[in-house]
Amino acid sequence: MTVRSDMQTGTASGSDALAQDFVQFAVECGVLRFGEFKTKAGRLSPYFFNAGLFDDGAKLGRLAQFYAQRLLASGMQFDMIFGPAYKGIPLGTALTVELARLGHNVPFAYNRKEAKDHGEGGSLVGAPLQGRVLIVDDVMSAGTAVRESIALIQAAGATAHGVVIALDRQEKATEGGQDVNHSAVQFVRRQLGLEVCAIARLDDLMGYLAQHSVAGLQDAAQQVRAYRDRYGVDEQD
């Protein structure tokens, strides 16, 4: 089955109401926090997005609504969903259920980190990988999970077609310990040839902070802006 929409608003912008609602939701859930956090690249980030804290049925259900709304609005076409272990498994499951509720019932599969040597065996669980596969994840730091997913999908004879994530950090990736002039999202688009759809971007977070500075977030807004100035990427593809 192909899921698509006639709407063509797949990427978030600073004035995007859906993105602003999502940022507020993430803040209220404690998923999006402000302070000083060390990233995988060794940078000190003024914010941290931990999708593992969408940790009950109500939060996951609302999160799935955001994913589904953004995805259907993007016009992206795909035939099934794949959730890479580990965070991609609950995210992909919730999204698949929400899409079915909206009338778009598609197959779903996920992988194990370690292959099973009994029962059905193998590292893949769920529907057979076939057609155009959509990968679901929370954020994309280095694109490692995506590349691993692509290898699994191609080995099964299917096509990795796109990725949907919750937050695009819009910051430079690192290669060999050095900053490069593209983000992980841009790498996946340009080098791997996949479509990428994000519920919100760092620019949306900055817009939220600017609108809520009276709520004691003035320092956070300044720190996030400085971080964007230092590590942000040129969005011109």
Which residues are catalytic, by number? 116, 118
70, 10 Cβ separation under 8 angstroms: yes
Tokens of 82: 């794949």
93: which 2 tokens?
């499951």
Residue pair 104/69 in contact by the 8 Å Cβ criterion:
no
Maximum CA pair distance of the chain?
58
Torsion from C-alpha of 15, 234, 30, 223, nearest 10 degrees: -100
Say if CB 1 and CB 105 are below 8 A apart.
yes
The single-letter code of the amino acid at 150 is I
Phi, then psi, of 31 in degrees rounded to 5? -75, -35
The Cα 211–Cα 220 span in angstroms is 12
CB neighbours of 168 closer than 8 A, spacing ≥ 6?
Answer: 12, 139, 140, 183, 185, 196, 198, 200, 201, 202
